[in-house]
Structure 1
Amino acid sequence: MKITLIAGARPNFMKIAPIIEAIKQSQEKGLALEYRLVHTG
Protein backbone atom coordinates (compact mmCIF):
# COMPACT_ATOMS: atom_id res chain seq x y z
CA MET A 1 0.00 0.00 0.00
CA LYS A 2 1.27 3.46 -0.85
CA ILE A 3 0.42 6.40 1.39
CA THR A 4 0.92 10.10 0.67
CA LEU A 5 1.28 12.42 3.66
CA ILE A 6 0.89 16.14 3.00
CA ALA A 7 2.22 18.84 5.33
CA GLY A 8 2.75 22.55 4.92
CA ALA A 9 3.98 23.97 8.21
CA ARG A 10 5.73 22.80 11.37
CA PRO A 11 2.52 21.99 13.29
CA ASN A 12 1.50 19.67 10.46
CA PHE A 13 4.81 17.80 10.70
CA MET A 14 4.24 17.32 14.43
CA LYS A 15 0.88 15.71 13.65
CA ILE A 16 2.35 13.46 10.95
CA ALA A 17 5.31 12.20 13.04
CA PRO A 18 3.30 9.53 14.94
CA ILE A 19 1.83 8.30 11.65
CA ILE A 20 5.30 7.88 10.14
CA GLU A 21 6.45 6.03 13.27
CA ALA A 22 3.48 3.65 13.00
CA ILE A 23 4.26 3.04 9.32
CA LYS A 24 7.89 2.23 10.15
CA GLN A 25 6.82 -0.21 12.89
CA SER A 26 4.44 -1.90 10.45
CA GLN A 27 7.24 -2.19 7.88
CA GLU A 28 9.44 -3.90 10.48
CA LYS A 29 6.65 -6.43 11.04
CA GLY A 30 6.63 -7.22 7.33
CA LEU A 31 3.72 -5.18 6.01
CA ALA A 32 4.26 -3.79 2.53
CA LEU A 33 3.73 -0.09 3.22
CA GLU A 34 5.38 2.79 1.41
CA TYR A 35 4.92 6.45 2.20
CA ARG A 36 5.70 9.70 0.48
CA LEU A 37 5.89 13.01 2.33
CA VAL A 38 4.84 16.10 0.36
CA HIS A 39 5.89 19.49 1.75
CA THR A 40 3.69 22.29 0.41
CA GLY A 41 5.37 25.20 2.13
Structure 2
Amino acid sequence: MRGRNKVIKLIMVTLGAGLLLSFCLTAGTAVIAIALVLIALGLLMQN
Protein backbone atom coordinates (compact mmCIF):
# COMPACT_ATOMS: atom_id res chain seq x y z
CA MET A 1 0.00 0.00 0.00
CA ARG A 2 2.81 2.36 0.90
CA GLY A 3 4.73 1.52 -2.28
CA ARG A 4 1.61 2.23 -4.31
CA ASN A 5 1.38 5.77 -2.91
CA LYS A 6 5.02 6.31 -3.85
CA VAL A 7 4.29 5.26 -7.45
CA ILE A 8 1.23 7.55 -7.64
CA LYS A 9 3.32 10.43 -6.25
CA LEU A 10 6.04 9.75 -8.83
CA ILE A 11 3.48 9.70 -11.67
CA MET A 12 1.94 12.97 -10.44
CA VAL A 13 5.37 14.65 -10.23
CA THR A 14 6.28 13.37 -13.71
CA LEU A 15 2.98 14.60 -15.18
CA GLY A 16 3.40 17.97 -13.49
CA ALA A 17 6.95 18.32 -14.83
CA GLY A 18 5.81 17.27 -18.31
CA LEU A 19 2.96 19.81 -18.30
CA LEU A 20 5.31 22.53 -17.06
CA LEU A 21 7.85 21.68 -19.77
CA SER A 22 5.22 21.60 -22.55
CA PHE A 23 3.78 24.92 -21.29
CA CYS A 24 7.26 26.49 -21.29
CA LEU A 25 7.85 25.19 -24.84
CA THR A 26 4.49 26.45 -26.16
CA ALA A 27 4.93 29.79 -24.38
CA GLY A 28 8.47 29.98 -25.79
CA THR A 29 7.32 29.33 -29.36
CA ALA A 30 4.48 31.85 -28.96
CA VAL A 31 6.94 34.49 -27.69
CA ILE A 32 9.34 33.75 -30.58
CA ALA A 33 6.47 33.98 -33.10
CA ILE A 34 5.32 37.34 -31.65
CA ALA A 35 8.91 38.63 -31.65
CA LEU A 36 9.36 37.62 -35.31
CA VAL A 37 6.09 39.33 -36.28
CA LEU A 38 7.12 42.52 -34.45
CA ILE A 39 10.55 42.48 -36.14
CA ALA A 40 8.93 41.92 -39.56
CA LEU A 41 6.49 44.79 -38.95
CA GLY A 42 9.33 47.04 -37.80
CA LEU A 43 11.31 46.28 -40.98
CA LEU A 44 8.26 46.88 -43.17
CA MET A 45 7.54 50.21 -41.43
CA GLN A 46 11.09 51.42 -42.14
CA ASN A 47 10.72 50.68 -45.86
Same topology, TM > 0.5 = no
TM-score range, shorter chain: 0.3 to 0.5
Q: Say which structure is richer in strand.
A: 1
TM-score (norm 2): 0.37
Q: Between Structure 1 and Structure 2, whose CA radius of gyration is higher?
A: 2
Q: Say which structure is richer in helix.
A: 2
Q: Which has the higher contact order (CA 8 A, sep 6+)?
A: 1
TM-score (norm 1): 0.41
